[in-house]
A and B are shown apart, each in its own frame.
Chain A
Amino acid sequence: MKRDAPEVEGYTTLPLQLPTLPIFPKPATHYLYIRPHEPRIPDPDSSRSLFIVNTPIDTTETHIAHLFGKQLAAGRVSSVQFEDVPAKKTNVAPVTENNLSHRSKKRKRITADDLQSQLDEITLPSTWDRQLQKSGAHAIVVFADRASMEASLKAAAKAARKGTTIVWGEGISTDRVPALGVQRYLSHERRRYPARRELLTAVNDFMTVFAQVSEARKREESRKNAEPDEDGFVTVTHGPKLNSVAREDEMKELIAKEKKKAEGLEDFYRFQSREKRKERQQELLKKFDEDKRKLADIKMRKGKIRPE
């Protein structure tokens, strides 16, 4: 049975009719490639997930849920993970910039890392009401349970085999998904300028948490410094520490100064100027050979040198 369904490289191919428009009346069919999700390192969700390739660029979670839930009437979609969108809130601790503090998060209830993840949540408002997918992109569709997933795959194969017409996104009420086209761009132009209050809140929240994070980090750092190391010593530091970037700038300046000092002493001895002259001669010799090569090259490319 399953063999008969159109397949490519083990993927079930599901044709989708794209909605036609007055400005582009030609009917167009889009092909979705579907297979069970089998990642190299399985996670708890992978057994109830489908891996779909070649999502239309306007795909949203609503579209996918609608496709499997209503149009194929097979299974309930619980979530969709798109390509290029980093998975949020996974079990792995959020990666932080400063790895030093990893070890010392035992007793404290609110660690710097917790604060950091809180900080990451505070972002500037988005300027698009609907994100686009890249053409040919893939997505992972997580279903409510394994049965839903299997039923969906079967339904898709069946639809493909029978040639059932499924129109992409047909039947989704317009208020559930923001419109494409000029409306989307107008709303983008509007959303590019967030309200002053909204922006100010974001900034203030961020700054507050950011200050807390720095504070927490500093505390952790100083505590760590206060602990004796393997040999039982405590490193004593003094004064406010410059941050590393400012240090780097300072170093650069210092190097520049040194360089300046070294200048002007090159012509001091006679041997220096003699060596310099020799060097120059060598250089010229090299350049002459280069010129010869260049000319040969030009001749090869353009043919003979002739007036236009």
Chain B
Amino acid sequence: MSAHAVKRRRLSPSPANSNSLTQSKASDATPLSSKEETPKTTQSVARKDDPLTKSHPGRRGNEDGSAELAMASGFYKSSFFKLQMDELLTGLRPNYEKQISKLQDTLHKLKDTIENLPDKESKSVAEAEKELRTVSEIVIPWPEPRPAKDAKYTMAYAKPANINVVGSVVLKTGAKTTDSRPVDLAVTMPSSIFQEKDYVNYRYFHKRAYYIACLAAGIQKPMDALGLDIKFGFQDGDSLRPLILLEPRSTSKSDPTPQPQIRILTAVEPTLFPITRTLPIRSNVRQGSKDQSEAGEPTPYYNASLRSEAAVSLYHKYLHSTAQKCESFRDACVLGRTWLQQRGFHTSFQNGGFGGFEWAALVSLLFEGGGPSGQPILLRSYSSYQIFKATMQFLAGRDLTTPLLLFASDVAVPDGGPVLYDGRRGLNLLYKMTVWSYAALRHESSITLKMLNESREDNFDRVFIVKVDEPALRFDRLISFPKAFNGDTLRAVREQNTLYTTLSKALGDRVKLISLASHSAESWSIRAKALTKKASHSLSVGLLLDADNVNRVVDHGPAAEEKEEAASFRDFWGNKSELRRFKDGSILESLVWSDQPSEGSIVLQILTYILQRHFQITEDDFSFTGDEYDEMLLDEGDGILAYSSPPFQSIKEAFSDLERSIGNMEEVPLTIRHLAPASPLLRYTALRVQAPGGAQEPADIVLQFESSSRWPDDFAAIQMTKAAFLLKIGDSLESSGAASSCRVGLENESSKVLNNLYLDIAHTSGFLFRLRIHHDREQTLLERQLKDKGINPREREEIAYALFTYKRLFVQAPRLTQAFRSLCTRLPLLSPTVRLVKHWFNSHLFSARICDELIELLTVRAFTQPYPWDCPSSVMTGFLRTLHFLSRWDWQQEPFIVDLSGDLTPQMTETIRTRFTAWRNIDPAMNTVALFVASDIDTDGVTWTQYEMPSKVVAGRISTLAKAAVSLLRKESHNLDVTDLFQTSLAPYDFVINLRPKFSGDRSAAVSKYKNLVDGASNQPSALAIVKSFVHDVEACYGQSVLLFHGDERCGVIAGLWNPQTLKPRNWNLKTAYSTAPVGSTESTGRVSINQLAILNEIARLGEGLIDTVDTGDLKA
């Protein structure tokens, strides 16, 4: 028995064994490794077994700063991530010494001034106001509602109990980001000026406002002398808490590193008001003005706002002690801040209510608790990355709408937003977060967690570098209300809550997420009134749609018998609600929306109706973005939006029908192995399905016979055999009635090794198919020829090209089609997005320069590798994210890798990268391969891009255009006019050929004119085919000197560029492959230059009848 066991152990040195070995090595370096997994969920335990994921031991090993240790521990998947992170952190850590030294004097002076301010007697509200106004010309920044003139309580000023610098600058938790990093000076107000009951009815906040005004009055002159502007602003956008801002005067703008802002905020002794008074459930606003909520209702925001004043120094000390205890805490704060900022989360309520401070406090708290049974989530030995990731895991995993109470029990909380109650300091840390901002935060953190757990890519860029918070990239639909909502915080909270509730009720499961964002008030002069009173702020709403439900036409409400529900449903929807009987016999309240394109999208219909009904906001009072992209696609793409629309389905059916007919053919001697679709039309990615005027783009299909040894071994003979087969198939299909007519066509006539023949099948359904025979022996023959050393370079080139074409036509195109057919069905928005992206490429005249398949691959990445966002659920996001990707893709240095079936393994990625490096070594000037685009079904990476498809110049132009589009998007954001993105600019081209109208768009003219030339409607040569032949001819003749750009059949121009290298005069040479003219007419200089006029003349004669005019730019005659 034991012998058996021994044997077995020998036989199976399992990977788990070797893994634990390396793990224990790592844990030698830093203890506590065994504990670290305990707070994690089972998911992370499972990950432990997989050495390839970024597992924690490796992370910790790296964190000690020694690369050697990281090497020894053997976790390399993460090493590049770690290296990048170190770089990022070094770049983001502010230079505190420099900053402090700059400010030291100012701060000291400020402190002295404040300490020496004389106390002020207590006086009534009116007196206080008057005095400040007359003596110092200062308007007290009262919060709303301002104190009554006859208020019984008095205002006073006394020397502060304490003045301290607090916040991220002192704690060194700040990050050098685009935000300004103000230095916070906390002035602790003496308890003597407050009364016991001051926590009710804004009394504290009124006294505080007076105190702030007195401070402002006192420091006004000395600060002015120091060159600082003094202003009022709101702390964290909270109108209850105004503060003083000291800004260096704008004259010093030229200074590259301007002095940071100083903020003077107030604090009170923690013990001034008992914690029990400010618990979230308490009601502290008892007799408000008319629009106030009724007495007795909890005022959590007010309470927390008050409590946070008392907790300033407590939190400061707390964070400081955490920073002392844990070395990597500061770096973790930098990472957290960066992450939040990239996602648009800031401390102020208007921007999510979760910023750097909340992050730091949350991390600190998680060192002490937060786990499922109260145990800590973080350990002090964690690295900054581990802290970051574990916090992400906490945010994503723990739903805080079920309150989490730390150091406290039995704290009742009102329903609604998330709660993370810190019992020691009596504050719900997330009090500024709303239901929607919390949902957004969780959404983001769960995506980030997925990114961090993904073993395939390192995702560093997407976690920290990419700016995620770009509304049009992030949300599917955007609504903005220019002037509708109040600047007063408490009211804004209430109003936005109502709006949110209404919207989410109205849109239901059509949306996954609704996000509201507004701007916090700007700072204002101390001599002016605060802007809260009348000023209103624009509010923008982002919707994340649920693609499955968004287009549902009928909404089912409650049944008629459920009286109460039905009544409230009718109350909410008004006349829109109808009682209907459904097929299953149920009688339900229901809503019916229109699916006519002219009515706008259903979401827009609902919004228009609901906003009017509940908020009296008319259609003109809000703007709605996102539908334009669908509309554009409808306009340009023959009115087809979804892959499931009739044209796509009928061509699919026609194909299945044809497949059956071909399978049933009896006259053909070989049995059929496979008939594969290989066309955009058959994988739902063609921009247009039914070309107007009857002329039709054929859909490529590939037929493969069972292999037979009777095929000849000679290229010409193979083609002839194919011809015989095609004729036979055509006859058979015609006689069986499956096809109305079949014609054998010729292609590549100049080549013996390329495929020469195809069969055009006009199917009875009206669709045209183009069938080619796939004979796999051709590949072997070509490969054998390529190995033959005896052939000359030119032949070798031709054979290599033939092999390339063979693989593309017969292997990759069917494979890609298969992959896209299933992807488009699984991801309904893929098809419309790809088609819109194609339209974008067409409008920028790239269609001759890059192939359809390449566009498809570039687009699908936004769906299969959507990070840092989720999979797009609208055409807009899919389209814009594709452009965003293109704008960021450094194609010279990076390969493009897309995962089509989810089978992309790290080994494959490695292979692809090796291939890419090899290509760049072979062809460093990128003369044949510019873009390298690989996928899990095609690791070669050049199938769709070799032979200058596109060339380096074109690839560069694509990048430039994408960059321009993204920067326009950033600049305009909500007001972006979609058509601007599709505007064809002819300015960069050297000459422009305008086509005659009948060869662009309007096909009917062409049809009538050439009717006599052809016998049937389906045999009509399409205008596009002629234009393509023309472009092809020009390219064949002037390959070295001219580069042509044109769009699709609706595009009326062909634009051209001269190769800049040909523009210089050069010595006469037999090999000069373009038309030249001697330089200097009389003397024989022996130099020649390109003869542009002659070339254009030749082009014009070649295209006579096609061309309307040729615009030669500034070319002289």
Contacts and interface: CB of A to CB of B under 8 A. Distances in A.
Interface of A: 6-9, 11, 13, 18-21, 23-24, 26-31, 33, 53-54, 56-58, 97, 119, 124-128, 132-138, 180-183, 185-186, 188-194, 196, 199-200, 202-203, 206-207, 210, 242-246, 248-249, 267, 270, 273, 277, 280-281, 284-285, 287-288, 291-292, 294-295, 297, 299, 301-302, 304-308
Interface size class of B (residues with CB under 8 A): 35 or more
Nearest to A283: B76
Which 3 A-B pairs rank lowest in CB-CB distance, beginning with the nearest?
A182-B1105, A181-B1104, A189-B1021
B749 A11 contact: no
Interface in B928-985: none
Contacts of A24: 1096-1097, 1100-1101, 1107, 1110
Given A24-B1107, A124-B757, 13 more contacts: A8-B1068, A11-B1068, A18-B1101, A27-B1093, A28-B1096, A30-B1097, A31-B1091, A135-B1041, A193-B744, A203-B724, A243-B713, A292-B67, A307-B467
Contacts of A291: 76, 79-80, 83
Nearest to B910: A287
A164 to B, nearest CB: 15
A237 B92 CA distance: 80
B1072 interface: yes
Contact of B890 (A137, A245, A301): A301
Contacts of B692: none
Interface in B1084-1117: 1084, 1086, 1088, 1091, 1093-1098, 1100-1110, 1112, 1117
A132 B1033 contact: yes
Contacts of B749: 124, 126-128
A61 to B, nearest CB: 18
A183 B1101 CA distance: 11
B743 A181 contact: no
B713 A245 contact: yes
Contacts of B1014: 190
Contacts of A29: 1077, 1091, 1093-1094
Interface stretch (B124-132, B586-594, B1023-1031): B1023-1031
A241 to B, nearest CB: 11
A186 to B, nearest CB: 6
Contacts of A243: 709, 713
Interface string B1045-1082: 00000000000000000000000101011111110011
A180 B80 contact: no
B651 interface: no
A102 to B, nearest CB: 15
Contacts of B1110: 23-24
B926 to A, nearest CB: 16
Interface stretch (B351-359, B387-395, B777-785): B777-785
B483 to A, nearest CB: 31
A4 B345 CA distance: 82
Nearest to A33: B1068
Contact of B717 (A6, A206, A281): A206
Interface in B330-364: 338, 341-342
Contacts of B1095: 135
B76 A288 contact: yes
Contacts of B1081: 6
A71 B1088 CA distance: 26
Contact of B1073 (A134, A202, A267): A134
Interface of B: 10, 12-13, 18, 67, 70-71, 74, 76, 79-80, 83-84, 87-88, 91-92, 177, 338, 341-342, 464-467, 709, 712-714, 716-717, 719-721, 723-724, 727, 743-747, 749, 756-757, 760, 777, 780-781, 784, 890, 893, 1010, 1013-1014, 1019, 1021, 1025-1026, 1029-1030, 1033, 1036-1039, 1041, 1068, 1070, 1072-1078, 1081-1082, 1084, 1086, 1088, 1091, 1093-1098, 1100-1110, 1112, 1117
Contacts of A192: 745-747
B76 A199 contact: no
Nearest to B1082: A6
Contacts of B717: 206-207, 210
Contacts of B1075: 30-31, 54, 56, 135-136
A115 to B, nearest CB: 13
A185 B1034 CA distance: 13
Contacts of A21: 1097, 1100-1101, 1104
A58 B1101 contact: yes
A128 B1097 CA distance: 21
Given A185-B1030, A305-B88, A26 B1112 contact: yes
A63 B777 CA distance: 44
Contacts of A210: 712, 714, 717, 720
A29 B1096 CA distance: 11
A215 B464 CA distance: 72
17 contacts: A26-B1096, A28-B1094, A58-B1098, A97-B714, A124-B723, A128-B749, A132-B1033, A135-B1041, A180-B1104, A182-B1105, A190-B1013, A193-B760, A203-B720, A203-B724, A305-B88, A306-B92, A307-B88
Contacts of B74: 280-281, 284
Contacts of A299: 87
Given A6-B1081, A53-B1070, A295-B87, A58 B1102 contact: yes
Given A127-B749, A295-B83, A23 B13 contact: no
Nearest to B717: A210
A200 B1026 CA distance: 27
B69 to A, nearest CB: 11
A23 B713 contact: no
Contacts of B1101: 18-19, 21, 24, 58, 180-181
Nearest to A297: B893
Nearest to B1069: A9
B80 A27 contact: no
Nearest to B1019: A193
Contact of A307 (B76, B341, B1106): B341
A299 B893 CA distance: 13
